[in-house]
Protein backbone atom coordinates (compact mmCIF):
# COMPACT_ATOMS: atom_id res chain seq x y z
CA UNK A 1 0.00 0.00 0.00
CA UNK A 2 1.37 3.41 -0.98
CA UNK A 3 2.07 5.91 1.79
CA UNK A 4 -0.27 8.92 1.96
CA UNK A 5 0.58 12.14 0.20
CA UNK A 6 0.75 13.77 3.65
CA UNK A 7 -0.07 12.60 7.15
CA UNK A 8 -1.92 14.99 9.41
CA UNK A 9 1.19 15.28 11.58
CA UNK A 10 3.28 16.19 8.51
CA UNK A 11 0.80 18.89 7.54
CA UNK A 12 0.84 20.39 11.01
CA UNK A 13 4.64 20.27 11.12
CA UNK A 14 4.95 21.95 7.71
CA UNK A 15 2.36 24.67 8.30
CA UNK A 16 2.54 25.25 12.04
CA UNK A 17 -1.24 24.85 12.07
CA UNK A 18 -3.61 23.23 14.53
CA UNK A 19 -6.20 20.55 13.84
CA UNK A 20 -9.81 21.08 14.88
CA UNK A 21 -11.48 17.66 15.16
CA UNK A 22 -9.88 16.25 12.01
CA UNK A 23 -10.82 12.57 11.91
CA UNK A 24 -8.47 11.34 9.19
CA UNK A 25 -4.72 10.96 9.56
CA UNK A 26 -4.13 10.52 5.82
CA UNK A 27 -4.34 13.10 3.04
CA UNK A 28 -4.01 11.73 -0.48
CA UNK A 29 -5.07 14.71 -2.63
CA UNK A 30 -5.20 18.49 -2.39
CA UNK A 31 -7.77 20.76 -4.02
CA UNK A 32 -8.78 24.41 -4.06
CA UNK A 33 -12.12 23.67 -5.77
CA UNK A 34 -14.94 22.24 -3.64
CA UNK A 35 -16.46 20.71 -6.79
CA UNK A 36 -13.32 18.78 -7.77
CA UNK A 37 -12.12 16.67 -4.87
CA UNK A 38 -9.87 13.67 -5.13
CA UNK A 39 -9.73 10.77 -2.69
CA UNK A 40 -9.10 11.71 0.95
CA UNK A 41 -8.83 15.33 -0.08
CA UNK A 42 -7.53 18.35 1.76
CA UNK A 43 -9.50 21.40 0.64
CA UNK A 44 -7.42 24.60 0.77
CA UNK A 45 -9.57 27.71 1.21
CA UNK A 46 -7.60 30.29 -0.73
CA UNK A 47 -8.99 33.69 -1.66
CA UNK A 48 -9.01 34.27 -5.41
CA UNK A 49 -9.93 37.20 -7.62
CA UNK A 50 -13.59 36.18 -7.82
CA UNK A 51 -14.19 33.72 -5.00
CA UNK A 52 -13.08 33.12 -1.43
CA UNK A 53 -12.59 29.45 -0.63
CA UNK A 54 -13.72 30.03 2.95
CA UNK A 55 -17.26 30.42 1.59
CA UNK A 56 -17.10 26.82 0.34
CA UNK A 57 -15.49 24.98 3.27
CA UNK A 58 -18.74 23.37 4.44
CA UNK A 59 -19.54 22.38 0.85
CA UNK A 60 -16.11 20.80 0.42
CA UNK A 61 -16.45 18.81 3.64
CA UNK A 62 -19.96 17.70 2.65
CA UNK A 63 -18.62 16.64 -0.75
CA UNK A 64 -16.07 14.32 0.82
CA UNK A 65 -13.01 16.35 1.80
CA UNK A 66 -11.50 14.88 4.97
CA UNK A 67 -10.15 18.26 6.10
CA UNK A 68 -9.97 21.92 5.12
CA UNK A 69 -6.96 24.21 5.45
CA UNK A 70 -8.32 27.59 6.53
CA UNK A 71 -7.04 30.99 7.60
CA UNK A 72 -7.22 31.95 11.26
CA UNK A 73 -10.58 33.52 12.12
CA UNK A 74 -12.20 32.78 8.74
CA UNK A 75 -13.94 29.43 9.28
CA UNK A 76 -14.91 27.51 12.41
CA UNK A 77 -16.04 23.96 13.10
CA UNK A 78 -14.78 20.38 12.92
CA UNK A 79 -12.53 19.19 10.12
CA UNK A 80 -10.48 22.40 9.96
CA UNK A 81 -6.71 22.77 9.97
CA UNK A 82 -6.20 26.37 11.02
CA UNK A 83 -3.15 28.34 9.84
CA UNK A 84 -2.25 32.03 9.73
CA UNK A 85 -3.08 32.20 6.01
CA UNK A 86 -4.44 29.38 3.82
CA UNK A 87 -2.40 30.30 0.73
CA UNK A 88 0.70 30.58 2.91
CA UNK A 89 -0.11 27.14 4.30
CA UNK A 90 -0.36 25.74 0.77
CA UNK A 91 3.06 27.18 0.02
CA UNK A 92 4.40 25.54 3.19
CA UNK A 93 3.08 22.18 1.97
CA UNK A 94 4.68 22.80 -1.42
CA UNK A 95 8.06 23.46 0.20
CA UNK A 96 7.68 20.34 2.32
CA UNK A 97 6.92 18.23 -0.75
CA UNK A 98 9.96 19.64 -2.52
CA UNK A 99 12.23 19.17 0.51
CA UNK A 100 11.49 15.46 0.77
CA UNK A 101 11.72 14.81 -2.98
CA UNK A 102 14.65 12.96 -4.52
CA UNK A 103 13.26 13.40 -8.00
CA UNK A 104 14.69 15.26 -11.01
CA UNK A 105 12.84 18.59 -11.09
CA UNK A 106 12.32 20.83 -14.13
CA UNK A 107 10.88 24.34 -14.34
CA UNK A 108 9.52 25.74 -17.62
CA UNK A 109 8.73 29.32 -18.54
CA UNK A 110 8.65 31.49 -21.66
CA UNK A 111 6.34 33.78 -23.60
CA UNK A 112 5.03 30.94 -25.77
CA UNK A 113 5.26 27.16 -25.68
CA UNK A 114 5.33 26.67 -21.89
CA UNK A 115 2.46 24.24 -21.67
CA UNK A 116 3.38 22.39 -24.86
CA UNK A 117 6.97 21.93 -23.66
CA UNK A 118 5.75 20.84 -20.23
CA UNK A 119 3.51 18.22 -21.86
CA UNK A 120 6.35 17.01 -24.09
CA UNK A 121 8.53 16.63 -21.00
CA UNK A 122 5.77 14.77 -19.19
CA UNK A 123 5.58 12.23 -22.02
CA UNK A 124 9.34 11.75 -22.08
CA UNK A 125 9.66 11.38 -18.32
CA UNK A 126 6.70 8.99 -18.09
CA UNK A 127 8.60 6.69 -20.45
CA UNK A 128 11.46 6.61 -17.93
CA UNK A 129 9.78 6.54 -14.52
CA UNK A 130 7.11 7.87 -12.16
CA UNK A 131 6.34 11.43 -13.20
CA UNK A 132 4.45 14.32 -11.65
CA UNK A 133 3.61 17.33 -13.83
CA UNK A 134 1.53 20.48 -13.62
CA UNK A 135 -1.96 20.16 -15.06
CA UNK A 136 -3.61 22.61 -17.46
CA UNK A 137 -1.86 25.97 -17.08
CA UNK A 138 -1.62 26.00 -13.29
CA UNK A 139 1.45 28.23 -13.38
CA UNK A 140 0.79 31.25 -11.14
CA UNK A 141 1.11 32.20 -7.46
CA UNK A 142 -1.44 29.57 -6.39
CA UNK A 143 -1.13 27.10 -9.27
CA UNK A 144 2.56 26.34 -8.76
CA UNK A 145 2.35 25.67 -4.99
CA UNK A 146 -0.77 23.57 -5.57
CA UNK A 147 1.00 21.44 -8.18
CA UNK A 148 4.15 21.16 -6.07
CA UNK A 149 2.21 20.20 -2.93
CA UNK A 150 0.55 17.40 -4.91
CA UNK A 151 3.89 15.81 -5.86
CA UNK A 152 4.25 12.34 -4.29
CA UNK A 153 7.47 11.62 -2.47
CA UNK A 154 7.99 8.65 -4.81
CA UNK A 155 7.99 10.72 -8.02
CA UNK A 156 11.21 10.29 -9.98
CA UNK A 157 10.55 13.32 -12.18
CA UNK A 158 8.67 16.57 -11.65
CA UNK A 159 7.78 19.19 -14.28
CA UNK A 160 6.40 22.58 -13.30
CA UNK A 161 5.22 25.41 -15.54
CA UNK A 162 5.76 28.98 -14.33
CA UNK A 163 4.03 32.05 -15.73
CA UNK A 164 3.91 35.74 -14.96
CA UNK A 165 2.18 38.99 -15.83
CA UNK A 166 4.70 41.32 -14.17
CA UNK A 167 8.21 41.41 -12.71
CA UNK A 168 9.01 39.60 -9.44
CA UNK A 169 6.41 36.87 -10.00
CA UNK A 170 8.55 34.01 -11.33
CA UNK A 171 11.36 34.43 -8.77
CA UNK A 172 9.39 33.16 -5.73
CA UNK A 173 7.91 30.32 -7.79
CA UNK A 174 11.32 29.13 -8.92
CA UNK A 175 12.75 29.45 -5.42
CA UNK A 176 9.91 27.22 -4.23
CA UNK A 177 10.28 24.63 -7.02
CA UNK A 178 14.12 24.65 -6.99
CA UNK A 179 14.50 23.05 -10.42
CA UNK A 180 17.55 21.06 -11.46
CA UNK A 181 16.92 22.36 -14.98
CA UNK A 182 15.18 25.59 -15.98
CA UNK A 183 13.84 25.97 -19.52
CA UNK A 184 12.97 29.26 -21.25
CA UNK A 185 11.08 28.45 -24.44
CA UNK A 186 11.00 31.88 -26.12
CA UNK A 187 10.73 35.61 -25.59
CA UNK A 188 7.87 37.30 -27.44
CA UNK A 189 5.43 40.20 -27.20
CA UNK A 190 3.22 39.10 -24.31
CA UNK A 191 2.31 41.16 -21.23
CA UNK A 192 3.80 44.29 -22.81
CA UNK A 193 1.12 46.30 -21.04
CA UNK A 194 2.88 45.78 -17.70
CA UNK A 195 6.44 45.06 -18.81
CA UNK A 196 6.86 47.65 -21.55
CA UNK A 197 9.49 45.95 -23.73
CA UNK A 198 10.79 42.60 -24.91
CA UNK A 199 13.95 43.24 -22.93
CA UNK A 200 11.95 43.58 -19.73
CA UNK A 201 10.03 40.41 -20.57
CA UNK A 202 13.35 38.57 -20.94
CA UNK A 203 14.54 39.88 -17.56
CA UNK A 204 11.29 38.78 -15.91
CA UNK A 205 11.54 35.30 -17.42
CA UNK A 206 15.18 35.09 -16.32
CA UNK A 207 14.02 35.23 -12.70
CA UNK A 208 13.62 31.45 -13.02
CA UNK A 209 17.42 31.16 -12.81
CA UNK A 210 17.36 32.33 -9.20
CA UNK A 211 15.79 29.10 -8.03
CA UNK A 212 17.98 26.65 -9.95
CA UNK A 213 19.67 24.13 -7.70
CA UNK A 214 23.48 24.42 -7.27
CA UNK A 215 25.14 22.65 -10.19
CA UNK A 216 21.91 22.80 -12.19
CA UNK A 217 21.46 23.77 -15.82
CA UNK A 218 19.41 26.11 -17.99
CA UNK A 219 18.07 25.32 -21.46
CA UNK A 220 17.47 28.35 -23.67
CA UNK A 221 15.81 28.83 -27.03
CA UNK A 222 18.22 31.10 -28.91
CA UNK A 223 15.86 32.06 -31.75
CA UNK A 224 15.13 35.57 -30.49
CA UNK A 225 17.19 38.77 -30.12
CA UNK A 226 16.98 38.76 -26.32
CA UNK A 227 19.14 35.63 -25.92
CA UNK A 228 22.10 37.70 -24.70
CA UNK A 229 19.99 39.10 -21.85
CA UNK A 230 19.22 35.54 -20.77
CA UNK A 231 22.84 34.45 -21.05
CA UNK A 232 23.97 37.39 -18.95
CA UNK A 233 21.29 36.70 -16.35
CA UNK A 234 22.31 33.04 -16.15
CA UNK A 235 25.92 34.05 -15.58
CA UNK A 236 24.88 36.56 -12.91
CA UNK A 237 22.96 33.77 -11.15
CA UNK A 238 26.14 31.67 -11.09
CA UNK A 239 24.86 29.08 -13.55
CA UNK A 240 27.64 27.57 -15.64
CA UNK A 241 25.70 24.80 -17.40
CA UNK A 242 23.91 26.62 -20.20
CA UNK A 243 22.50 24.75 -23.21
CA UNK A 244 21.11 26.60 -26.25
CA UNK A 245 18.91 25.31 -29.04
CA UNK A 246 17.22 26.64 -32.15
CA UNK A 247 17.10 26.72 -35.93
CA UNK A 248 20.08 29.02 -36.38
CA UNK A 249 23.76 28.22 -36.43
CA UNK A 250 25.99 28.42 -33.39
CA UNK A 251 23.60 26.75 -30.92
CA UNK A 252 24.41 23.62 -28.94
CA UNK A 253 21.44 21.70 -30.37
CA UNK A 254 20.45 22.76 -33.89
CA UNK A 255 17.10 21.94 -35.52
CA UNK A 256 17.73 21.16 -39.21
CA UNK A 257 16.13 19.44 -42.22
CA UNK A 258 12.64 20.48 -41.14
CA UNK A 259 9.60 18.98 -42.86
CA UNK A 260 5.97 19.52 -41.90
CA UNK A 261 2.80 17.82 -43.06
CA UNK A 262 -0.86 18.33 -42.15
CA UNK A 263 -0.55 16.29 -38.98
CA UNK A 264 3.17 15.57 -38.53
CA UNK A 265 6.55 17.27 -38.27
CA UNK A 266 10.05 15.96 -38.88
CA UNK A 267 13.53 17.33 -38.18
CA UNK A 268 17.10 16.30 -37.66
CA UNK A 269 18.54 17.53 -34.37
CA UNK A 270 22.30 18.03 -34.47
CA UNK A 271 24.29 18.07 -31.24
CA UNK A 272 28.03 18.03 -31.80
CA UNK A 273 28.81 14.81 -33.65
CA UNK A 274 25.42 13.31 -32.80
CA UNK A 275 22.27 13.46 -34.92
CA UNK A 276 18.74 12.55 -33.84
CA UNK A 277 15.69 12.00 -36.07
CA UNK A 278 12.77 13.75 -34.39
CA UNK A 279 9.19 12.94 -35.43
CA UNK A 280 6.07 14.50 -33.91
CA UNK A 281 2.38 13.78 -34.42
CA UNK A 282 1.63 17.48 -34.79
CA UNK A 283 2.63 20.08 -37.42
CA UNK A 284 4.70 23.22 -36.89
CA UNK A 285 8.24 24.49 -36.56
CA UNK A 286 7.36 25.84 -33.12
CA UNK A 287 6.31 22.34 -32.04
CA UNK A 288 9.67 20.98 -33.17
CA UNK A 289 11.36 23.69 -31.13
CA UNK A 290 9.37 22.77 -28.00
CA UNK A 291 10.09 19.07 -28.48
CA UNK A 292 13.81 19.77 -28.90
CA UNK A 293 13.81 21.43 -25.48
CA UNK A 294 12.27 18.25 -24.07
CA UNK A 295 14.90 16.12 -25.82
CA UNK A 296 17.68 18.22 -24.30
CA UNK A 297 16.23 18.00 -20.79
CA UNK A 298 15.91 14.23 -21.18
CA UNK A 299 19.61 14.13 -22.09
CA UNK A 300 20.48 16.16 -18.98
CA UNK A 301 18.37 13.79 -16.88
CA UNK A 302 20.30 10.79 -18.18
CA UNK A 303 17.46 9.35 -20.28
CA UNK A 304 18.56 7.46 -23.39
CA UNK A 305 17.87 9.47 -26.58
CA UNK A 306 15.89 6.66 -28.20
CA UNK A 307 13.59 6.47 -25.18
CA UNK A 308 12.90 10.20 -25.47
CA UNK A 309 12.48 10.10 -29.26
CA UNK A 310 9.98 7.23 -29.10
CA UNK A 311 7.97 9.10 -26.49
CA UNK A 312 7.99 12.31 -28.53
CA UNK A 313 6.79 10.45 -31.63
CA UNK A 314 3.46 10.01 -29.81
CA UNK A 315 3.26 13.70 -28.92
CA UNK A 316 0.18 15.52 -30.21
CA UNK A 317 -1.27 18.98 -29.79
CA UNK A 318 -3.28 19.78 -26.67
CA UNK A 319 -6.83 21.21 -26.57
CA UNK A 320 -6.70 24.93 -27.30
CA UNK A 321 -3.08 24.65 -28.42
CA UNK A 322 -3.21 23.37 -31.97
CA UNK A 323 -5.41 20.32 -31.49
CA UNK A 324 -6.82 19.04 -34.79
CA UNK A 325 -10.51 18.08 -34.74
CA UNK A 326 -12.37 16.41 -37.62
CA UNK A 327 -16.15 16.26 -37.96
CA UNK A 328 -18.50 14.71 -40.48
CA UNK A 329 -18.10 12.52 -43.56
CA UNK A 330 -14.65 11.12 -44.30
CA UNK A 331 -14.69 12.39 -47.88
CA UNK A 332 -15.64 15.95 -46.95
CA UNK A 333 -15.12 16.64 -43.24
CA UNK A 334 -14.96 19.91 -41.38
CA UNK A 335 -11.40 20.26 -40.06
CA UNK A 336 -10.88 22.53 -37.05
CA UNK A 337 -7.53 23.64 -35.64
CA UNK A 338 -8.19 24.64 -32.04
CA UNK A 339 -5.74 27.37 -30.96
CA UNK A 340 -8.28 29.07 -28.75
CA UNK A 341 -6.41 29.04 -25.44
CA UNK A 342 -3.97 31.91 -25.84
CA UNK A 343 -2.29 34.26 -28.28
CA UNK A 344 0.52 36.74 -28.70
CA UNK A 345 2.33 37.94 -31.81
CA UNK A 346 4.73 35.00 -31.93
CA UNK A 347 2.17 32.26 -31.35
CA UNK A 348 -0.29 33.90 -33.76
CA UNK A 349 2.33 33.98 -36.53
CA UNK A 350 3.30 30.36 -35.80
CA UNK A 351 -0.30 29.15 -35.89
CA UNK A 352 -1.01 30.97 -39.15
CA UNK A 353 2.14 29.45 -40.66
CA UNK A 354 0.92 25.97 -39.72
CA UNK A 355 -2.51 26.74 -41.17
CA UNK A 356 -0.89 27.71 -44.46
CA UNK A 357 0.06 24.06 -44.92
CA UNK A 358 -3.44 22.73 -44.23
CA UNK A 359 -5.80 22.11 -47.12
CA UNK A 360 -9.57 22.35 -46.95
CA UNK A 361 -11.01 18.88 -47.64
CA UNK A 362 -13.42 20.27 -50.21
CA UNK A 363 -14.48 23.72 -49.14
CA UNK A 364 -12.86 26.92 -47.97
CA UNK A 365 -10.18 27.95 -45.49
CA UNK A 366 -11.45 30.18 -42.69
CA UNK A 367 -9.81 31.71 -39.64
CA UNK A 368 -11.34 33.19 -36.52
CA UNK A 369 -8.88 35.51 -34.79
CA UNK A 370 -9.44 37.14 -31.41
CA UNK A 371 -7.64 39.99 -29.69
CA UNK A 372 -4.15 39.43 -28.31
CA UNK A 373 -4.52 40.88 -24.82
CA UNK A 374 -2.11 42.81 -22.59
CA UNK A 375 -0.02 44.28 -25.40
CA UNK A 376 -0.15 47.86 -24.13
CA UNK A 377 0.08 51.04 -26.17
CA UNK A 378 1.27 49.27 -29.33
CA UNK A 379 -1.62 46.79 -29.37
CA UNK A 380 -3.32 48.17 -32.49
CA UNK A 381 -0.07 48.28 -34.47
CA UNK A 382 0.82 44.73 -33.41
CA UNK A 383 -2.60 43.48 -34.49
CA UNK A 384 -2.33 45.25 -37.84
CA UNK A 385 1.09 43.69 -38.24
CA UNK A 386 -0.50 40.25 -38.57
CA UNK A 387 -1.87 41.12 -42.03
CA UNK A 388 0.95 39.49 -44.01
CA UNK A 389 0.76 36.29 -41.96
CA UNK A 390 -3.01 36.12 -42.49
CA UNK A 391 -2.65 36.53 -46.24
CA UNK A 392 0.14 33.92 -46.33
CA UNK A 393 -2.05 31.43 -44.44
CA UNK A 394 -4.28 30.97 -47.45
CA UNK A 395 -7.39 31.92 -45.51
CA UNK A 396 -10.27 32.85 -47.79
CA UNK A 397 -12.55 34.25 -45.08
CA UNK A 398 -11.44 35.94 -41.85
CA UNK A 399 -13.69 36.49 -38.84
CA UNK A 400 -12.26 38.92 -36.27
CA UNK A 401 -13.30 39.30 -32.63
CA UNK A 402 -12.27 42.10 -30.27
CA UNK A 403 -11.57 45.81 -30.16
CA UNK A 404 -7.96 45.64 -31.33
CA UNK A 405 -8.82 43.38 -34.24
CA UNK A 406 -10.34 46.46 -35.90
CA UNK A 407 -6.76 47.44 -36.74
CA UNK A 408 -6.19 44.12 -38.50
CA UNK A 409 -9.52 44.46 -40.33
CA UNK A 410 -8.33 47.82 -41.70
CA UNK A 411 -5.01 46.30 -42.82
CA UNK A 412 -6.60 43.41 -44.73
CA UNK A 413 -8.39 43.53 -48.09
CA UNK A 414 -12.05 44.29 -47.48
CA UNK A 415 -13.15 41.20 -49.38
CA UNK A 416 -11.14 38.95 -47.06
CA UNK A 417 -12.81 40.12 -43.82
CA UNK A 418 -16.01 38.15 -43.40
CA UNK A 419 -16.94 39.83 -40.11
CA UNK A 420 -15.62 41.87 -37.21
CA UNK A 421 -17.38 41.68 -33.84
CA UNK A 422 -16.57 43.37 -30.56
CA UNK A 423 -17.36 40.32 -28.43
CA UNK A 424 -17.65 36.58 -28.83
CA UNK A 425 -21.37 36.82 -28.00
CA UNK A 426 -21.88 38.95 -31.10
CA UNK A 427 -19.70 36.71 -33.25
CA UNK A 428 -20.98 33.20 -32.53
CA UNK A 429 -24.04 33.11 -34.78
CA UNK A 430 -22.25 34.82 -37.67
CA UNK A 431 -19.30 32.41 -37.55
CA UNK A 432 -21.39 29.28 -37.07
CA UNK A 433 -23.59 30.27 -39.99
CA UNK A 434 -20.53 30.52 -42.22
CA UNK A 435 -19.23 26.98 -41.63
CA UNK A 436 -19.89 23.87 -43.68
CA UNK A 437 -18.49 20.39 -44.13
CA UNK A 438 -15.41 20.52 -46.32
CA UNK A 439 -14.10 23.70 -44.71
CA UNK A 440 -10.88 24.04 -42.77
CA UNK A 441 -11.12 26.40 -39.80
CA UNK A 442 -8.52 27.74 -37.39
CA UNK A 443 -9.53 29.50 -34.16
CA UNK A 444 -6.88 31.60 -32.40
CA UNK A 445 -7.01 34.30 -29.74
CA UNK A 446 -6.23 35.15 -26.14
CA UNK A 447 -8.13 33.07 -23.62
CA UNK A 448 -9.91 36.12 -22.24
CA UNK A 449 -11.64 36.69 -25.59
CA UNK A 450 -13.50 33.40 -25.18
CA UNK A 451 -12.97 31.83 -28.59
CA UNK A 452 -13.17 28.37 -27.02
CA UNK A 453 -16.93 28.94 -27.26
CA UNK A 454 -16.64 28.63 -31.04
CA UNK A 455 -14.96 25.24 -30.67
CA UNK A 456 -17.67 24.14 -28.22
CA UNK A 457 -20.41 25.25 -30.61
CA UNK A 458 -18.74 23.47 -33.54
CA UNK A 459 -18.54 20.23 -31.54
CA UNK A 460 -22.19 20.49 -30.56
CA UNK A 461 -23.43 21.20 -34.10
CA UNK A 462 -21.17 19.19 -36.38
CA UNK A 463 -20.47 16.16 -34.18
CA UNK A 464 -24.17 15.44 -34.11
CA UNK A 465 -25.00 16.27 -37.72
Q: What is the pLDDT of residues 93-151, one digit of tens each?
A: 999 999 999 999 999 999 989 999 999 999 999 999 999 999 988 999 999 999 999 99
Architecture of domain 6-84: 3-Layer(aba) Sandwich (3.40)
The pLDDT value given to residue 1: 64
Residue ranges of the binding site: 110-116
This prediction has a pTM of: 0.85
Architecture of the domain defined by 101-313: 3-Layer(aba) Sandwich (3.40)
Look at residue 415 in the predicted model and tell me its pLDDT.
Answer: 95
CATH 3.90.190.20 residue window(s) in the chain: 323-462
Q: In 3-state terms, the chain is what percent helix, strand and coil (to 5)?
A: 35, 25, 40
Instruction: Summarize the annotated binding site for ATP as residue ranges.
Output: 110-116
Domain 323-462 has CATH 3.90.190.20: yes
Q: Which helix (H) or strand (E) holds 448?
A: none
Q: Report which DSSP code applies to 436.
A: -
The C-alpha angle 199, 140, 285, rounded to 5 degrees, equals 55
Please classify residue 266 by burial: count the beta carbons closer than 10 Å to its beta carbon, then call 0-12 exposed, 13-18 middle and 19+ buried: middle
- The per-residue pLDDT for 193 is 77
| DSSP 3-state of 188 | coil
Q: What one-character DSSP code corresponds to residue 11?
A: H
Helices (H), 187-226: 192-195, 198-205
Mean pLDDT (the chain, rounded):
95
Splitting the chain (465 residues) into consecutive groups of 10 residues, what average pLDDT does each group show?
Answer: 91 97 95 94 92 95 97 95 98 98 98 93 97 92 97 98 94 98 92 85 97 98 97 97 97 96 91 97 92 98 97 88 90 93 90 92 94 91 96 96 97 96 96 96 94 95 74
Chain region(s) in the chain for CATH 3.40.1190.10: 101-313
Domain with CATH 3.40.1390.10 in the chain: 6-84
- Which pLDDT does position 189 carry in this prediction? 81
Amino acid sequence: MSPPLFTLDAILAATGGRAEDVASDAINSISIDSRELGPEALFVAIKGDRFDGHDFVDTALANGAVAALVSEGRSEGPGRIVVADALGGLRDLARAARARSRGFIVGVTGSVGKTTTKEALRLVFEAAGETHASIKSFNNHWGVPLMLARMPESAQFGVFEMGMNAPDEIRPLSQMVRPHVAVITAIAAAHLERLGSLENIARAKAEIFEGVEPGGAVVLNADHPQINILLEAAAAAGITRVVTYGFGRGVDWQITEVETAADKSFATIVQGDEQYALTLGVPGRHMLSNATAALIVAHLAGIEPQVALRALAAFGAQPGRGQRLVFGPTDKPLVVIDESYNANTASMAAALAVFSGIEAPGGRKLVVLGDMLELGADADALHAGLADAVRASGAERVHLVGRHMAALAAALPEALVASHSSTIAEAVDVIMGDLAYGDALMVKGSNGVGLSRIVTEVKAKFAQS
